[in-house]
Amino acid sequence: MIFALILPACYPRFQQIRRFGAGVYKLEVETEADWWEVEALYDLCFAPGRTALSSYRLRNGVPKVAELCLTLRDHDGILAAVIRYWPVTVGGKPVLLLGPVAVHPTRQGEGLGGLLIHESLPEAFRLGWERVLLVGDAPYYQRFGFRKLEGVVMPPPTNPDRVLGLALRPGAWEGVKGSVRKAKGVVAPG
Ligand SMILES: CC(C)(COP(=O)(O)OP(=O)(O)OC[C@H]1O[C@@H](n2cnc3c(N)ncnc32)[C@H](O)[C@@H]1OP(=O)(O)O)[C@@H](O)C(=O)NCCC(=O)NCCS
């Protein structure tokens, strides 16, 4: 079987076909109509009570960075993988909070999670974001360039070893330290 990425007209930057595995997938920006399916996939992939995690406190009531929230559907329209991003601040600087990213359990290990991350990060850069933060497993995210952040503190309880960052522009994390804060109002990329 051929893996082809079908890219929508509403996301012109991604108008290209890719082939690298089995299956046919369509990459789109998440819409309001996707909301319940996306939430259901997160419920399936994460432990119950996921919304009590510290990172959700930074997301509650804050609009997502809509251009970077992507869905990946198979040729039957079944949701296979999703990624969302939120704005936060650290030391008064704008930061992009990556996640949650989730791949349906029957499709994990096929490269879909990597695909969503590889597709969204260049778009984040194009939009003007300079630094990205996430809470996750370093052994997975280090392949995308994420490294443990020193001096960047997520709301408790968060294991500091899981607080990872990526500079989209060289040196973008230098001197950016302190508590991760919920965005208030519109956070312009930077
Ligand atoms: C984590 C997740 C997003 C990865 O997506 P995926 O499409 O399954 O992974 P990919 O195909 O891109 O990458 C597969 C590789 O990542 C590794 N990997 C996957 N999850 C990992 C983890 N938590 N820690 C370390 N390595 C991991 C696999 O072993 C595999 O390694 P290999 O390339 O050396 O064989 C997906 O498995 C998932 O949704 N898991 C449940 C929800 C979750 O944990 N989300 C992340 C929150 S931090």
Q: Supply the residue whose CA is at minimum distance from atom 35 of ligand 1.
A: 109
Is 190 contained in some domain? no
Total number of domains constituting the chain: 1
Is 120 contained in some domain? yes
pLDDT one digit per residue (tens) for the chain, 190 residues: 334 454 444 444 554 444 446 678 999 999 999 999 999 999 999 988 898 888 999 999 999 999 999 999 998 999 999 999 999 999 999 999 999 999 999 999 999 999 999 999 999 999 999 999 999 999 999 999 999 999 999 999 999 999 999 999 999 999 999 999 999 877 889 8
Q: What is the pTM of this model?
A: 0.91
Is 189 contained in some domain? no
CA 2 to chain centre: 26
Residue 101 Cβ inside 6 Å of ligand 1? The answer reads yes
Residue 61 Cβ inside 6 Å of ligand 1? The answer reads no
Tell how far the Cα of 179 is from the centroid of ligand 1, in angstroms.
Answer: 27
Residues spanned by the domain of 133 = 4-182
Is 170 contained in some domain? yes
Specify the 3-state DSSP secondary structure of 30. coil
Burial class (CB in 10 A: 0-12, 13-18, 19+), 121: buried
The CATH number of the domain where 15 resides is what? 3.40.630.30
Is 188 contained in some domain? no
Residue 144 Cβ inside 6 Å of ligand 1? The answer reads no
Is 116 contained in some domain? yes
Ligand 1 mutation target, pool 140, 163, 166, most atoms within 8 A of CB: 140
